[in-house]
Structure 1
């Protein structure tokens, strides 16, 4: 698959030149921006298939940039590149709303492969614009959640968690499934990030309504139930 339109936000000009050449060599087009301000402006002007961004930028923390891009309606999958590659750093990035996280230095071939994988995953989800279960609604493209017609404000990661649970509504979803598909981790970071995120999502989905919709199945995982 070729011809992707990629937005790349990175202040290191030498690295940016190398990555741009790598992307172009793979047959895709890249728009490079050295600052978060320019990146947001470009994202508002054009639609991109994938966004690649650095975590440490001269005018913004990369995590804040992710939140600002999501708030601006940018729904393209995002890949964060960072010299901060420890498990807790990756969890922070994924919690902020990025879809994948790579530490620096990285293998060029892996970067291209991950970009393509992110695009395939996003394209595969595009057919299901709205997922309905009980009185819950998941608007995939708009990245919004509703219950009984009421909008439920969710953070980017909470929405990703909600969407995955909606895709498996009525089924038990294990912690391993959530780590792999929501946090893009193939290992347990030994934190309570899942428990905290599920607890926050449950509170938002159930507060002000009668009846639970998100159950904890002890020793197994979590399950959405129809209210």
Structure 2
């Protein structure tokens, strides 16, 4: 169907790929399977993709490298990494490469499905939100663009959703649990600093275009969006 969701599965293990592809197709997703990173990069350049499931261990290059290269050309594309590596440092490495979510193997298919639905739902919800304006900083959820003084801020899907979420709740002190539930759409693993990592990504990208980050750390709680025109608070 023309309105079906197109998912690119990048996985070199045939049994795992078959399990995922068959399950998602039964849920009416359109799934294309490729076995290595180079083919994934070529596929994304040639065809429309709504979401990528990307294994970390690939035969030709690491999924981390593939993710980083995808981010250079398609910063808006949702990417979920799948891997048997489950140490906190491995998860953080994947997130720092630009992944929007990270699911360790082995996993239950229902959890994979729920995380995919959460990623797609975040994008769909953002498209129905009015334009958010804070001085020279503008976020357009429908177009999924963020600009500062007319200059584009190149945010990944999760960075964009996080900024949109916080900006829409300006002045509210939001806990990490609440942010994770509403932005990521699944239970918060307190063994990671996932939210802190992504807040720092957003802050850095805003700083790079001359916007003093309006995201304030609320000690003992989480974060609060203030205003880019009066962002004089410490970030730590």
Q: Quickly name the TM-score band, shorter chain normalised.
A: 0.7 to 0.9
Tell me the alpha carbon deviations over residues 142-174 of structure 1, each in whole angstroms, 9 at most, x when there is no partner.
Answer: 665433334445577654543332232332232
For 2:142 and 2:100, locate their aligned partners in 1 and report how far apart those are by CA, in whole Å: 15
* Distance in 2, Cα, partners of 1:59 & 1:189: 31
2:102 maps to 1:101: yes
Corresponding residue number in structure 1 for 2:171: 170
Q: 1:74 to 1:10 in 2, by over 3 A?
A: farther
Aligned residue number for residue 78 of structure 1? 79
1:39 aligns with 2:40: yes
Return the alpha-carbon distance in structure 2 between the equivalents of residues 214 and 118 of structure 1.
Answer: 23
Rounded to whole Å, the distance in 1 between the matches of 2:210 and 2:147 is 12
Partner residue of 1:69? 70
Distance change in 2, residues 1:30/1:96 (3 Å): same
| Structure 1 counterpart of 2:232 | none
Greater shift after overlay, 145-154 or 63-72?
A: 145-154
- The aligned counterpart of 2:22 is 21
Answer whether contact 1:88 1:189 (CA < 8 A) is retained: no
- The 3-state SS of whatever aligns with 2:174 is coil
Which residue number corresponds to residue 115 of structure 1? 116
Structure 2: 5+ residue runs without aligned partners? Answer: 230-236
Equivalent pair of 2:126/2:161 in contact (CA under 8 Å): no
TM-score (norm 1): 0.79
Secondary structure in 2 aligned to 1:56?
A: coil
Matched residues in 2 for 1:29 and 1:95: separation? 28
Residue-by-residue CA offset, 1:52-100 (whole Å, 9 max, x unaligned): 1101112222122222222222633222211112333333323332222
1:90 and 2:91 are equivalent in the alignment: yes
Contact 1:96 1:157 in 2 (8 A): no
Aligned to 1:187: 189
Contact 1:179 1:187 in 2 (8 A): no
Give the C-alpha shift of residue 207 in structure 1: 7.0
Distance apart, 1:201 and its partner CA: 4.2
Cα gap change, 1:128 to 1:64, in 2 (>3 Å)? farther
CA contact (8 A) 1:43 1:74 kept: no
Shift of 1:110: 2.6
Give the aligned partner of residue 218 of structure 1: 219
